[in-house]
Amino acid sequence: MTHPLQSTEPVARPWAAPHLKLAQIPLLWQFAVIIAAGIALSALWGGALRWPDIWVIPLASWITTFFEWLGNDAGIGGYEFRDLTRFLADLLKQPLRWAEYVLYRGVRPLDLPPVPWVAIVIGVGILGHWAGGRKLAFFAAGGLLYLAVFGLWRDSMRTLAIVVVAVPFAVVIGLWLGIWAEKSRRAASVVSPMFDLMQATPHMAYLVPVVILFGFGQVPALIATVVFAMPPMARCVMLALQTVPSAITEAGKMSGCTPRQLLWKVQIPAGKRILMLGVNQVVMQTLAMAVIASLVGATGLGQKLLTSLQQLKLGAAVEQGLGIVMIAVVLDRITQAWANRPTDYAARGRSWAYRHRHALSFGAVLVVSVLLAGIFKEVSVLPKGMTVTFGTQLDDAVRWFAKETYGVIQPVRDFITVNMLIPLRNFFLAVPWPIVVAMVGAAGLRLAGRGTAMLCMGLVLAIVLFGFWEPAVLTVYLVLSAVIICICIGVPIGIWAFRSPRVARPIMAICDTLQTFPSFIYLIPVIMLLKVGDLANIVAILAYATVPAIRYTYLGLKRIPDVTIEAAITNGATPMQRLLKVELPVALPEIMLGINQTIMMALSMVAITALIGSRDLGQEIYRALPTADTGRGILAGLAIAAIGIVADRLIQGWANTRKKQLGVK
């Protein structure tokens, strides 16, 4: 088919050289030109290597000053902004105080005891029974029993107090934001990218502004937790409302629902399962914040864990970390079961007592245990003599392991550090920034179009302009090294789990534990074995970030339709051919998503590996907290988010292009 406009063009301008589009030049050639030009530029102008300090836009110090002003002086009339934040904090303090009274503190001036641990353990068991039956009941009670037996009860209840208050707040705010974003396009266009950004920014970066505005203690910790745990809820609400079948909505409209009734009586109940998934996510995120929130004054397991690490009591830290995992897993299972809980039709028409049997039996347990607690102290608080610990044994085991394997590990560590990591780092630091900006732009243009290219170039340029280039380069160096190793380890393990279902279960269980386990704990053994240095940073990142690579590879392979695999087998493909020519290409989109997640995880771990000692963006965030340097913390956090976004867009662009080439949808 001829196109009338196009066909005239060469005739109109015969003198022009054959028009070569940028897209027709191979990307490698483009890169070569960019590199040559960049090197030439940096030879002429030192600023291409190191952006002059006097040209750095001092946004960081502006933000810091702004927050200091907000926290100290801002106000309208006689009211200070600070009064508002204090008022908010006081408001939040009330429910928290109640949770603390009930769970562990008791009402001190009245000498009323807290709920005895026995009652809470059995109570959670009853809740498990209500939500998911007998199996869950035993599991939930067993999980809480761990906390009591290992002497973690009081601290667990401190942590739980924050969880039971933070979760409803996060759920309500998330619900409201989600509904709002679903109703109004304009709200969605603000809220949605903000959530993207919040998820890509390490949690620690939120802490500084919270401290400036709300001070230190349980309440600021609660606020930081809610801010962090709320986005998944809002996302799930948006998803739930979007996926309500139009037939249901129509039926609601036809029966004369007002918009309010339509929302609350029809759409929200119809989307219950996705909403409950949101609640579940909120619970998990709340517990993921347990350790980090203790940096701004949360008491409980997280604080004890950091103190244990500080005192080199690794075993105690592991027990406390497992305590957090226990609470997380129990709440996870209960909320999941609750989401899938069928309506109890059998109970209809039965007696009041039968329908409220769970509440009644809990009441009975409570009364009996309170009475018993008056007689036997053990019922109220398990005495120390009756608790167990494997702390010191574990400490000794780790020390023994570090000592015995050091002779083997040391030369390997030195070789990798001196011959691979340090040259790689020096290379990264020597790359002029204009080359990076231009290469990111060229790749973005080729893979995902002009918009993406502009966005990615803008983000990289912003890192340069705001003075975070060097820490950002060091971050990319660490994360890139870690991600490559993650892929080399994770993808084969994922394939292995896919090929043999027998190993799949334990591998997935290990993955779950690795992700819920507070990542701070990995740091100590890593330092003992590898000493302070880049390799220690990378290995600590690995422990956490390999999980998505495994998981997504496994899931991606599992979702391949049987027909496709059958077709490969009937065509006589060897297992290796099947893997390389059929399974991996088909699973590629999912695997790429896993690699994307791996990068995100690695970036978020950077803030935590800063505790080992480095000069990257994580260190900037970590340092910002004690010095109350809000701007430095927020901008370093956003710089990490920027790196994540650039990587995400380029990988997605590449994956889409590749999918088109392979004809995979």
Is residue 623 close enough to count as binding other proteins by CB under 8 A?
yes
Q: Where are the alpha helices (DSSP H) in 73-152?
A: 81-100, 117-132, 134-149
Q: 310-333 in b/e burial notation, b at 16+ Cβ within 10 A?
A: eeebbbbbbbbbbbbbbbbbbbbb
Q: Which stretch binds other proteins (CB under 8 A): 3-11, 108-116, 500-508, 582-590?
A: 108-116
Which residues ranging from 534 to 593 are in contact with other proteins (CB under 8 A)? none
Q: Which stretch binds other proteins (CB under 8 A): 2-10, 18-26, 106-114, 196-204?
A: 106-114
**Considering the complex, what minimum distance in angstroms separates the CB of residue 214 from other proteins?**
9
Which phi and psi angles does 476 have, rounded to 5°?
A: -60, -40
CA angle 588, 592, 597 (to 5 degrees): 150
Is residue 216 close enough to count as binding other proteins by CB under 8 A?
yes
**Considering the complex, what minimum distance in angstroms separates the CB of residue 59 from other proteins?**
21
Which residues ranging from 593 to 622 are in contact with other proteins (CB under 8 A)? 610-614, 619, 622
User: Are residues 460 and 638 in contact, defined by beta-carbon separation less than 8 angstroms?
Assistant: no
Is residue 210 close enough to count as binding other proteins by CB under 8 A?
no
Candidates 50, 357, 399, 659; binder of other proteins (CB under 8 A) is 399
Q: By C-beta, is 172 or 364 nearer to other proteins?
A: 364
Is residue 358 close enough to count as binding other proteins by CB under 8 A?
no
Give the contact letters, 627-656, x = binds to other proteins (CB under 8 A), - = no: xx----------------------------
Candidates 231, 232, 321, 533; binder of other proteins (CB under 8 A) is 533
Residue 21: Cβ within 10 Å count: 6
**Considering the complex, what minimum distance in angstroms separates the CB of residue 216 from other proteins?**
5
Q: What is the DSSP string of 441-496?
A: HHHHHHHH-HHHHHHHHHHHHHHHHTT-HHHHHHHHHHHHHHHHHHHHHHHHHHHH
Which phi and psi angles does 138 have, rounded to 5°?
A: -65, -40
Is residue 309 close enough to count as binding other proteins by CB under 8 A?
yes
CA dist., res. 633 & res. 438, Å (int): 27
Q: By C-beta, is 94 or 571 nearer to other proteins?
A: 94
Longest dimension (CA), the chain: 104
> Would you state the torsion angle of the CA atoms of residues 536, 540, 542, 546, taken in this order, to the nearest 10 degrees?
170
Q: Which stretch binds other proteins (CB under 8 A): 12-20, 122-130, 213-221, 640-648?
A: 213-221
User: Are residues 205 and 292 in contact, defined by beta-carbon separation less than 8 angstroms?
Assistant: no
Is residue 532 close enough to count as binding other proteins by CB under 8 A?
yes
Q: What is the DSSP string of 368-421?
A: HHHHHHHH-HHHHS--GGG----HHHHHHHHHHHHHHHHHHHHHHHHHIIIIII
**Considering the complex, what minimum distance in angstroms separates the CB of residue 320 from other proteins?**
13
Is residue 413 close enough to count as binding other proteins by CB under 8 A?
yes
Is residue 452 close enough to count as binding other proteins by CB under 8 A?
no
**Considering the complex, what minimum distance in angstroms separates the CB of residue 318 from other proteins?**
14
The sign one gets for the Cα dihedral 147, 151, 154, 155 is negative
Is residue 159 close enough to count as binding other proteins by CB under 8 A?
no
CA dist., res. 619 & res. 611, Å (int): 8
Q: By C-beta, is 469 or 520 nearer to other proteins?
A: 520
**Considering the complex, what minimum distance in angstroms separates the CB of residue 170 from other proteins?**
23
Which residues ranging from 263 to 302 are in contact with other proteins (CB under 8 A)? 294-295, 297-299
Candidates 366, 480, 507, 573; binder of other proteins (CB under 8 A) is 366
Candidates 311, 426, 513, 571; binder of other proteins (CB under 8 A) is 311
CA angle 200, 195, 188 (to 5 degrees): 150
Start-to-end C-alpha separation, the chain: 27
Which SS3 state, helix, strand or coil, does residue 107 take? strand
Is residue 306 close enough to count as binding other proteins by CB under 8 A?
yes
Q: Which stretch binds other proteins (CB under 8 A): 52-60, 257-265, 266-274, 398-406?
A: 398-406
**Considering the complex, what minimum distance in angstroms separates the CB of residue 105 from other proteins?**
10
Q: How far is CA 56 from the centre of its chain?
A: 31
Q: By C-beta, is 99 or 495 nearer to other proteins?
A: 99
Which spans of this chain sit near other proteins (rule: CB under 8 A)?
Answer: 98, 101, 107-110, 112, 211, 215-218, 294-295, 297-299, 303, 306-307, 309-312, 363-364, 366-367, 370, 384, 392, 399, 402-403, 406, 413-414, 417-418, 422, 523-524, 527-529, 531-533, 610-614, 619, 622-623, 625-628
